[in-house]
Amino acid sequence: MQEQLSSLLAKASAELQSIRSRPELEAAKARYVGPNGELTALMKQMGSVAKELRPAMGKLVNESKARLQALLDSRLRAIEESELEARLGPPIDPTLPAPDEGPGTFHPLTLVREEVCRILRKVGFVVADGPEVETEFYCFDALNTPPDHPARDPQDTFYFPPGARFGNVSRHRPDERYLLRTHTSSVQVRTMLKGPPPIRIVSPGRVYRRDTSDASHSANFHQVECLYVDRNVTVRDLKALLDYLFAALMGPGTKTRFRPHYFGYTEPSFEVDLSARHLPKVNKEWIEIGGCGIVDPEVFRAVGYDPEVWTGYAFGMGLERLAMTLYGIDDIRVFYQNDLRLLRQFTGTI
């Protein structure tokens, strides 16, 4: 039997080297190790082997079976590599010119975000970032949003299941729920908790709300918010910064105005309107562009600041609204469709 096993392995090694396809390999596998295969037939002869020789012969059969399986596995790997090479085609020459139609560019939302940050950096603001997965304290409690506020309703906010855990997102209280942040104001809270004023930050980023998608709404969109905390900060400082920002962003002659409004984290609070008569495809004299106000004392108390010493302002707006106003786009959904007809219009704008 030893000679038969050696002969079988030599025969299999030679035959398998010439196999180039999976069907051929499966047929060969059946001939050797299938129910009626040659190795199977030899293994059935173990019953006729003398009792004292069976341990040594059994070891030899097992070793032969392992070697045969290794040959089959090796040939399968070679066939898989050959199939992959056939799908990939000939090797690429990295020295050849690229087949691209031309230089690319940033997405229009990225262009607006970077321009806003660039303008604000000139007057001392630094960019701050934070997690898109947030907790109730940073997104609501610290911003003076009571538990029964509509913004905290599951119909308005994306909450994670109670058992969800995120090791890289700190919680202020152990019983807090995780959610997708509804605004980047949570970055302001996290920044204030890191150290004392003065603070001057701009926090751009993606946010999430349960909105039905239409021409002016999306369940995910982008915001840019600013926070300035120091001594003796007034509404006049806030108005001056917004006048500077929009004049730098949209050109001379741009005007802003405040309308009284309510936000839980600022008092007084205002809606910000923008005079956009010089912009294309805008027929209204004023358009609403964002919200702002003086930071509410309760927000300072939540982060350990003394509201008798520190004051500040905050404002925020949607990047999509800014981009739509700047570029004359009338449907927010086009920002997320990767339509080259839109994106190619911005090639060479940076």
CA 259/CA 114 separation, integer angstroms: 28
H/E stretch holding 110 reads helix 108-121
**∠114-270-334 over CA atoms, to 5°?**
40
pLDDT over 70 percentage in the chain:
95
Average of pLDDT values for 53-65? 80
**DSSP class per residue in 35-59:** TT-HHHHHHHGGGGS-GGGHHHHHH
pLDDT digits 0-9 by tens, 243-279: 999 999 988 888 999 999 999 899 999 999 988 665 5
Place of tokens 């970032």: 129
Conformation bin of residue 263: beta by default, left when phi > 0, alpha when psi is -120 to 50? beta
Residues 6+ apart with CB under 8 A from 263: 269, 291, 293
* In the chain, where the domains are located: 2-88, 108-346
pLDDT digits 0-9 by tens, 215-229: 888 999 999 999 999
- Per-residue pLDDT at 279: 57
Candidate from 31-40, 161-170, 281-290 with smallest mean pLDDT? 281-290
- Per-residue pLDDT at 350: 41
Conformation bin of residue 87: beta by default, left when phi > 0, alpha when psi is -120 to 50? alpha
- Per-residue pLDDT at 48: 75
Residue scoring higher pLDDT (325 or 47): 325
Q: Is the pTM of this model over 0.95?
A: no
Average of pLDDT values for 72-77? 90
Radius of gyration of the chain (CA): 34
Name the 3-class secondary structure at 292. Answer: strand
Average of pLDDT values for 9-36? 87
pLDDT digits 0-9 by tens, 93-146: 888 877 766 667 789 999 999 999 999 999 999 999 999 999 999 999 999 988
Average of pLDDT values for 187-202? 95
Q: Which fold has domain 108-346?
A: BirA Bifunctional Protein; domain 2 (3.30.930)
User: Are 144 and 300 spatial neighbours (Cβ–Cβ below 8 Å)?
Assistant: no
- Per-residue pLDDT at 325: 86
Residue scoring higher pLDDT (193 or 58): 193
Phi, psi of 224 (to 5 degrees): -135, 125
User: Are 136 and 176 spatial neighbours (Cβ–Cβ below 8 Å)?
Assistant: yes
pLDDT band with cut points at 50, 70 and 90 for residue 303 = very high
Return the structure tokens found at 155: 């119909």
CA 121/CA 187 separation, integer angstroms: 17
